[in-house]
Amino acid sequence: MSRLWIAVPLVYLIAAAGFGLYMRIYALYPMPSVNYVHVLHAHSHLAMLGWGYVALTLLLTHEFWGEEAVRGRSFRIQFGVTQAVVVPMTAAFLMQGYAAWSIAFSSIHIILNYVYMAWFRLQSRRAVNGRALGSSAADRKPASLRYAQGALLCLLLSSFGPWTLAVLGATGRSDTIYFNDAVYAYLHVQYNGWFLLGLAALLLARLDKLGTPAPYSQLTAIRLYRLFMATLLPSILLSFTADLNTAGKMVALLAGLLQLVFVCGFLLLFVKAWLDLRRARSFSWSERLGALALFCLLLKAALDPLPALPGLAPLVAGTRSLVIAYLHLALLGFISLLLLALFGQRGWIPARSRFAAWGAGLIAAGFLANESVLALQSVQQWRLAPIAGGDWLLAAAAAVMLMGAILLLAGAWRTAAD
C-alpha cells in the first residue's frame, strides 16, 4: 500500500484534531475574528466524511478485494475525486458554515458514496459468482461480506438525512423539530450502522484470513447480523426519546437492549476467536488500542437504551457535556481507535515504530482524559460537585491527542514503503 494513500486519512485526522484543539482554546480565549460555529461544522464533517469515511472505505476495499483493486483505475479515480471534494468542503464550512458551497460539496460527497456502493456491490457479485461452482449457498457469501454489504446499506439509508435537511431548508422549515430529527437520524445510522457494521466486517474478515476454516461460527455471526438489521430502524427512536410517548419509549428501549445483545454476542464471538488464533506472548500497541475501542463500543451500547428510561431523556439532552462525551465515545473512542488499530494490524502504521507506539499511547491517554473531564463537568452541571479548571484540562487533552495523531503519521510515513 502506498504510504501517500495511508497518509491522506491520517492528515484528515490531524486536521480534525487541530480544529478540536482550537475550539478548546476558544473556550479559554474567545477570538471574535473566527466564527466558532463554522469551525465546529468543519471539525465534525472532516472527522466523519474525511477521516472516518476515507479510512473505512480504504480498509474495506483492501481487505475484501486486495491490493490490486486498490490500485485499480476505478478505485483510484473514486479516491482522488473524493479528496478533491473533502478539502474544499472543509474550507467552505470554515469560511461560511452551512451555505451554498458547503452544501454543494457535501451533496457531491453523498453522490460519491453511491458510486462506491455500486462499485463494491459489483465486486461482491463477481466474487460470489466466482465461488458458486462447487460451493454451498452458505459458503458463497461469508458473514464478513454480509456485514460489509449491510454497512453500505446503512450508508445509503443515512444519506436520506441530509436530503431531508435540504428539503426542509428549501421549504422554510429549518427551524422545526423535523430538522433536528433528520440530523439525529443521520448520525445514528452513521455511528450505529455504517461504521459499526463496516468495522465488524473488517474484524470478521481478519479472522477469516488468519484461520482456515474460519475460527468462529458463520451461522452465529449471520444470526447476530440479522438481529442487528431487524432492530436498526426501531433503534433510531433512541435519538427522539424526549419527544416520544410511553409506547414509543418502550419500542426504543427494546430496540436498544436488543442491539446491546448484538454487541455482546459479537464481542464474545470475535474475542474468543482472536485469542484462540494469536500466538504472540505480548500485545502490540494496535491490539491494546483495539481492545480499548471494543470496550468503548460495549460501553456505548450499554448507554444507548438509558434515555428511553422514564425521566432520563430530558436530563441527558439537557446536559451538553454528557452529549459531547457520548459523541466522542462513539466517533473517537470506538470508531477512530479501532480504525487506527486496524491500520496497525495491516502494517500501514508499523507495529515496531516508536513514533506509532507513542502516538497510540498519547491518543488513548488524551481520549480517556477528555471523557473523564466531560463526565465530571456533567456532574457539575447537575450541581452535585464542582470541578475547577475543566476547560484547561480539556484543552490539554486535545493537545495530547493532536500530538499523538502527528506521531502516528510520522511512524507511518517513515516506515511504510511505496
Domain definitions of the chain by residue range: 1-130, 138-279, 319-418
Q: Is 91 exposed, middle or buried (0-12, 13-18, 19+ CB in 10 A)?
A: middle
pTM above 0.75, yes or no: yes
Compute the distance between CA of residue 313 and CA of residue 224 in angstroms, rounded to an integer: 28
190-220 burial: b if 16+ Cβ within 10 Å, else e: bbbbbbbbbbbbbbbbbbbeeeeebbbebee
Q: Which residues 6+ apart lie within 8 Å of 386 measured at CB?
A: 380
Q: List C-alpha distances in Å: 49 to 87, 377, 416.
A: 10, 29, 25
Give the pLDDT of residue 378.
Answer: 80
Give the pLDDT of residue 133.
Answer: 39
Compute the distance between CA of residue 165 and CA of residue 337 in angstroms, rounded to an integer: 30
Compute the distance between CA of residue 51 and CA of residue 53 in angstroms, rounded to an integer: 6
Sign of CA dihedral 334, 340, 344, 348: positive
Compute the distance between CA of residue 125 and CA of residue 122 in angstroms, rounded to an integer: 5
Q: Measured in whole angstroms, how far is the alpha carbon of residue 193 from the centre of its chain? A: 9
Compute the distance between CA of residue 138 and CA of residue 357 in angstroms, rounded to an integer: 40
Compute the distance between CA of residue 366 and CA of residue 376 in angstroms, rounded to an integer: 15
Give the pLDDT of residue 416.
Answer: 46
- Per residue of the chain (418 residues), give pLDDT as tens: 778 899 999 999 999 999 999 999 998 888 877 889 999 999 999 999 999 999 999 999 999 999 899 899 999 999 999 999 999 999 999 998 888 899 899 999 999 999 999 999 999 888 777 654 334 444 568 899 999 999 999 999 999 988 988 888 777 777 777 788 888 889 999 999 999 999 999 999 999 888 767 778 899 999 999 999 999 999 998 887 667 788 888 998 999 999 999 999 999 999 999 888 877 667 889 999 999 999 999 999 999 998 888 777 667 766 778 889 999 999 999 999 999 999 999 889 987 788 899 999 999 999 999 999 998 888 776 655 556 678 899 999 999 999 999 999 998 877 544 3
Q: List C-alpha distances in Å: 406 to 7, 297, 358, 413.
A: 11, 25, 10, 11
Compute the distance between CA of residue 75 and CA of residue 70 in angstroms, rounded to an integer: 6
Residue 312's CB is within 10 A of a number of other CB atoms, namely: 15
Give the pLDDT of residue 176.
Answer: 75
**Contact at 8 Å (CB) between 98 and 42?**
no
